[in-house]
């Protein structure tokens, strides 16, 4: 194809998206669109499965049977969400194995929030409430993103995720209404997870490199700063309601803007964790690599068995 022809196709393509038409796997798409989507969808998928680890850390120690089954079901959902997203990504012509390879070699990123440790049971509450809360704010707009398989995966994810945040908030509420020890545990978890949750919504607009293009392709519908403000505005009253204190002395309702003003985010910490120096980067990655390596003989066995069965079938037919 000549450059001019490509330019023409690109124009038609952008017009389709502007008209809110969906792009489907076999449609022509600019190489950059394909690459950007592989990057974003796989990063999203990796976040789901790495995200299983900090919470999985507490399944065996959950304090009641009711909490144990709820947490187990939630972590399992995350595996499911990872699966939906990897499948969406595979429609762009890359295999799950290749995507894993990128994760395992550190080439692909996942959400930095999962590099923080879960130290007490209250962390499970804080993750559900704050991390899933921030994730939902990020994800709901993606249900109408331009790439069909991604949008469909997100619709399913959002539908299933509705219980996750409630699960977390209920844990926090129970702790906040419990004994002084329990309340302290909840406050401590909030103190540790609050700032990383704000960072989770991405660098400030001034520093964000992908925003403009992503907006055009509906990979993003609001800027990071807008999403962050939305998250804070919605979360502060929830903390008030259960008597927990947001660890930010600058946090104040602004009557003029009708939003909360908030303190400075420590972006140095954010970039440190992104660059691999968070408290658990190593542990998370090696847990994923180990599971994949230790599972290899199992996956090979199933494939060898399937091949043998197929051969037997053919032999019988002859």
Partner 1 sequence: MKKNWPLWEVFVRSKNGLEHRHFGSLHAADAEMALENARDVYTRRSEGVSIWVVESKNITASNPENSGELFEPAQDKVYRHPTFYTLPDEVKHM
Partner 2 sequence: MKKEKLIQYIYGIADNALMLGQRLSELCGHGPNLETDIACTNIALDLLGQTRSYYQYAAQLTGENVTEDDIAFLRTERQYKNVLLVEQPNNHFGYVITRQFLYDVFHLLLLQELQNSADLTLSAIAKKAIKEVSYHQRFSSDWIKRLGNGTEVSRQKVQEAVNDLWKFTDELFQLTEDDKSVIELGAGVDVSLLKEKYYQIVNDVLEEATLSVPELKWFRKGGKDGIHSEHMGYLLSDLQYMQRTYPNMKW
Identified binder of partner 2 from the candidate list 13, 33, 82, 197, rule CB under 8 A = 82
Q: What angle do CA 316, 317, 318 make, to 5 degrees?
A: 90
Dist CA 126 CA 117 (whole Å) = 12
**The pair of three-digit structure tokens given for residue 124, joined into one six-digit string:** 């499970």
Backbone angles phi, psi at 210, to 5 degrees: -95, -5
Under rule CB under 8 A, residue 172 binds partner 2: no
Residues 6+ apart with CB under 8 A from 250: 261, 262, 263, 264
Among 10, 14, 160, 188, binds partner 1 (CB under 8 A): 160
The Cα–Cα gap between 162 and 159 comes to 6
Q: Least distance to partner 2 from the beta carbon of 80, Å?
A: 6
Report the partner that residue 267 touches, choosing among partner 2, partner 1, none (CB closer than 5 to 8 A by kind). Answer: none
Q: What is the spatial distance between Cα 142 and Cα 155, in angstroms, rounded to a whole number? A: 8
Q: Is 27 in the site for partner 1 (CB under 8 A)?
A: yes
- Closer to partner 1 by CB, 74 or 220: give it: 74
Contact between 142 and partner 1 per CB under 8 A: no
Q: Does 2 bind partner 2 (CB under 8 A)?
A: no
* 290 binds partner 2, rule: CB under 8 A: yes
> Biggest alpha carbon distance in the chain?
82
How far is residue 280's CA from residue 271's CA, in Å, rounded to a whole number? 15
| Residue 265 interaction partner, one of partner 2, partner 1, none, beta carbon < 5-8 Å per kind | none
8 interacts with partner 1 by CB under 8 A: no
Q: Does 178 bind partner 2 (CB under 8 A)?
A: yes
| Residue 305 touching partner 1 (CB under 8 A) | yes
Q: Does 249 bind partner 2 (CB under 8 A)?
A: no
Least Å distance between CB 96 and partner 2?
A: 8
Cβ distance to partner 1 smaller for residue 241 or 303: 303
Q: Which of residues 33-92 bind partner 1 (CB under 8 A)?
A: 76-77, 80, 83-84, 87, 90
> Can you list the alpha helix ranges (DSSP code H) found in the chain?
3-18, 31-56, 65-90, 96-104, 121-126, 132-139, 148-176, 180-200, 211-216, 224-241, 267-272, 281-294, 296-317
Binding positions for partner 1, rule: CB under 8 A: 24, 26-28, 76-77, 80, 83-84, 87, 90, 95-97, 152-153, 156, 160, 299-300, 302-303, 305-307, 309-310
């Amino acid at each position: 194809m000549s450059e001019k022809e490509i330019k023409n196709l690109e124009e038609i393509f952008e017009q389709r998206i502007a008209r809110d038409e969906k792009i489907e796997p076999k449609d022509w798409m600019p190489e950059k669109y394909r690459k950007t989507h592989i990057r974003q969808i796989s990063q999203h998928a990796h976040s789901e499965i790495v995200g299983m680890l900090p919470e999985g850390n507490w399944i065996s120690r959950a304090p009641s049977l009711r909490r144990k089954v709820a947490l187990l079901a939630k972590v399992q959902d995350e595996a499911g969400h990872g699966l939906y997203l990897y499948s969406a990504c595979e429609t762009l012509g890359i295999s799950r194995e290749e995507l894993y390879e990128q994760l395992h070699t550190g080439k692909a990123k996942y959400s930095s929030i999962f590099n923080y440790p879960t130290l007490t049971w209250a962390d499970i509450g804080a993750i559900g409430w704050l991390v899933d809360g921030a994730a939902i704010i990020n994800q709901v707009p993606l249900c109408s993103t331009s790439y069909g398989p991604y949008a469909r995966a997100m619709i399913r994810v959002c539908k299933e995720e509705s219980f996750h945040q409630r699960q977390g908030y209920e844990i926090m509420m129970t702790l906040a209404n419990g004994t002084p020890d329990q309340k302290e545990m909840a406050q401590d978890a909030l103190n540790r997870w609050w700032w990383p949750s704000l960072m989770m919504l991405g660098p400030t607009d001034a520093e964000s490199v992908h925003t403009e293009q992503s907006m055009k392709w509906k990979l993003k519908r609001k800027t990071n700063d807008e999403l962050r403000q939305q998250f804070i505005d919605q979360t502060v009253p929830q903390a008030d309601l259960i008597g927990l204190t947001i660890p930010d002395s600058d946090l104040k309702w602004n009557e003029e803007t009708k939003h909360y003003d908030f303190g400075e985010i420590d972006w140095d910490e954010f970039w440190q964790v992104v660059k691999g120096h968070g408290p658990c980067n190593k542990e998370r990655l090696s847990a994923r690599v180990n599971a994949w390596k230790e599972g290899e003989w199992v996956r090979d066995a199933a494939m060898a068995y399937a091949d043998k069965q197929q051969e037997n079938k053919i032999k019988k037919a002859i």
